[in-house]
A = this chain, B = another copy of it.
Amino acid sequence: MILPLAIKRFDLAKAKKAAVKELSAEEKIKAAAKRIFTQKGFAATRTRDIAEEAGMNLALLNYYFRSKQKLFDIIMLENFKKFIHGIVIEVVHENATIEQKLEKVVAAYIDFLALNPDLPFFILNELRNNPTSIASTISDEINQIRNSFFKQLQQGNKKSKLPPMEPFHFVANLIGLTVFPFVGKPILQRVTNVSDSKFNALMQERKKLVPVWLKAIMNAK
């Protein structure tokens, strides 16, 4: 009789699933895929690498996700949402002055990027390759930003004497000062001869500095 053995196996599987730390094969693969795709991009990633990173078999990748492309699409969508939603939206929508929003959004972004340093490069990379496909999934969030924050920006703030500013320059400066250091980390570290721990400390400094700088830029000349 083989039945008892089968039951035994089933119970073991249940026990594993009940354990808090234990991930299913599907989850392990997805997590591994997210790490590698985010770090190396679609083209440079091999499905074999993902399977190995997950400690799983290559065949399981296709069993759960059908193809490399479908798996990538899932990761990409999640990464995009993570990058935009929850960081920009909540900070941008509340009732607050430009100055207050600046301080919040910069600090939130830097904290977020310290935990996800590869994300901005991934976004930039895949956005170059995908002329349009992503556009629809994030257009809602972008429209919200445009309708709320950009208008506020172009009005300026009379109380604190903050003059209005061209939205493009403002966004380019905000992202350039806040997220670029993470994108350009390899070259910045090489040029300035800065260690990883020093880099992290400098990023923490920037949480205070960048909002001050951005205000100085708006008031310049």
Contact = CB atoms under 8 A, between A and B. Distances in A.
A217 B213 contact: yes
A177 interface: yes
Contact of A216 (B123, B138, B220): B220
Interface string A161-184: 000001111011101110011011
Interface of A is mostly: helix
A43 interface: yes
Q: Quick one: which of A124, A146, A167, A215 has the most chain B CB within 10 A?
A: A124
B44 A129 contact: yes
Contact of A128 (B121, B142, B191, B213): B121
Contact of A183 (B124, B169, B209): B124
19 contacts: A42-B44, A43-B43, A121-B124, A124-B184, A127-B186, A142-B191, A146-B191, A166-B202, A168-B188, A171-B188, A172-B188, A173-B213, A176-B180, A176-B184, A213-B216, A215-B220, A216-B220, A216-B221, A217-B217
Interface of A: 40-44, 121, 123-125, 127-129, 135, 138, 142, 145-146, 166-169, 171-173, 175-177, 180-181, 183-184, 186-188, 190-194, 198, 202, 205-206, 209, 212-213, 215-217, 219-221
